[in-house]
Amino acid sequence: MKIKKYLLALLLGSSAFLMAGTLGAQELPVEEVAEAVEAVADAIPFEDGYAAFMESPGAAFFTISNLWLLISAALVFIMHLGFATVESGLGQAKNTVNILFKNVFIISMGIISYALWGFNAMYPGFAEGSAGVFAMGSWFDVEASVAMMTAEYADYTWYTDFIFQAMFAATAATIVSGAVAERIKLSSFMIFATLLVTFAYPITGSWQWGGGWLSARGFYDFAGSSLVHGFGGFAALACALILGPRAGKYVDGRIKPILGHSMPLATIGVFLLFLGWFGFNGGSVLNADPYLVSLVFVTTALAAAGGALGAIFTSWIFLKKPDLSMALNGILAGLVGITAGADSIMPFWAIITGLIAGILVVFSIIFFDKIKVDDPVGAISVHGVCGIFGTLAVALFSDAAGFGIQLIGTLSIGAFAFIFSMIVFGLLKVTIGVRVSPEEEAEGLDIGEHGQEAYPDFANSSR
């Protein structure tokens, strides 16, 4: 009975369109035909139409694609664990709880705020006359319909679309967290991160992925070298400039290294990020197309390996010793670099893209240290600088877009993130303050902000 009702709707719809073609547009306008077909479809319960679709020939590919995007969403979620472990490993032990707490807050807040506002702002939420610039969001929930839960929507359901994109949303704030670690007030960071993810990220995301002004001009950013990583990197730069360096980092014109407390933890984090990036880039194909998914996996892995080698040998030559932290950031630089063109840059050029990004990140980290911008994890260089390069690499190493629009696009996204962050973070500084007291910074944010230690047994035994 259910199948019969669904087929009846299809039959009525087909008949209506045939009548439109026979009688002519003046007698039966196409708009009226579409409305009539939609009315017939709406009269069928969701369960009936969905069941009918799942018995159709296209259901198999739809099901596989939908499952792949859900797996990809889970892989991107794992990246947040990677960010947490990288950041805490490269930080001092006395700030570990604070770093982990921020990452717990970021993913939780990111999912909720994206549901409340961001999702329907990015895809797309443009008010009339906005020219594809200022996205307006709303609650994401919709009443279940065949159109939203079958291939009529895409190769995935509305819900899968939301959860996959929600995993991306909090990444920008996670990038900022690393750059401002070990001296920021927790409450100020939580307010700033919420505003950044809820309002700023969906605006720039809509410029491209929501059919906004950059998309209309041919800009290309497959999975977010600029839209995710560049955005987060330049937001981090603004906050680091306002916040200032950690106490004791720059003394008498010299750079004093503040070493991370656990390189094993940082290494685990980078490999978790490497793993998650297969979902980050591979899921951005937005279906289970065998050729594209496999190509993206290969270019992602090759660029990461190229980035690692580029950073390893560059740091070895210029710093005189093979530096593990540089090697780890080289992997991440290669991954960020390939993200914009993972589906369009061929394997050989993916290696070159990663190699250049790995070299670039070493010099960028050294540069920011020389101008006294304190970034404990190298987030500004990895995500901001390499995000720009990765976006330009699309034009340099593929035919997906021209150099001019790629440059305009990446600079526009970075500038918006930087200016938004300077304004919001600057207002927080003059109102509630953004930095902990010198005493709290010296004691550690774990005790000052949370009243607990990450390694109490170790701390007690060392006293």
Q: What is the pLDDT of residues 318-345, one digit of tens each?
A: 999 999 999 999 999 999 999 999 999 9
pLDDT value at residue 20: 41
Instruction: Check the CA dihedral 322-314-328-300 and report its sign.
Output: negative
Summarize the confidence of residues 271-290 as an average pLDDT.
98
Between 347 and 3, where is the model more confident? Answer: 347
Between 36 and 136, where is the model more confident? Answer: 136
pLDDT value at residue 15: 38
Tokens of 407: 């440059």
In CATH, 71-450 is 1.10.510.10: no
pLDDT value at residue 134: 80
Of residues 325, 377, 339, the one with CA closest to residue 177: 377
Of the chain, the percentage scoring pLDDT greater than 90 comes to 79
pLDDT value at residue 124: 80
Residue 415 has pLDDT above 90, yes or no: yes
Summarize the confidence of residues 32-38 as an average pLDDT.
51
Between 29 and 270, where is the model more confident? Answer: 270
Residue 35 has pLDDT above 60, yes or no: no
Between 38 and 302, where is the model more confident? Answer: 302
- What digits encode the pLDDT tens for the residues 158-200? 999 999 999 999 888 899 999 999 999 999 999 999 999 999 9
Of the chain, the percentage scoring pLDDT greater than 70 comes to 89
Residue 227 has pLDDT above 60, yes or no: yes
Summarize the confidence of residues 258-286 as an average pLDDT.
97
Of residues 262, 265, 277, the one with CA closest to residue 78: 277
Lowest mean pLDDT among 206-210, 243-247, 253-257, 385-389: 253-257
Residue 16 has pLDDT above 60, yes or no: no
Residue 275 has pLDDT above 60, yes or no: yes
- What digits encode the pLDDT tens for the residues 113-127? 999 999 999 988 776
Q: What is the mean pLDDT of the chain?
A: 90
pLDDT band at 459 (very low <50, low <70, confident <90, very high): low
pLDDT band at 128 (very low <50, low <70, confident <90, very high): low
Residue 34 has pLDDT above 70, yes or no: no
pLDDT band at 402 (very low <50, low <70, confident <90, very high): very high
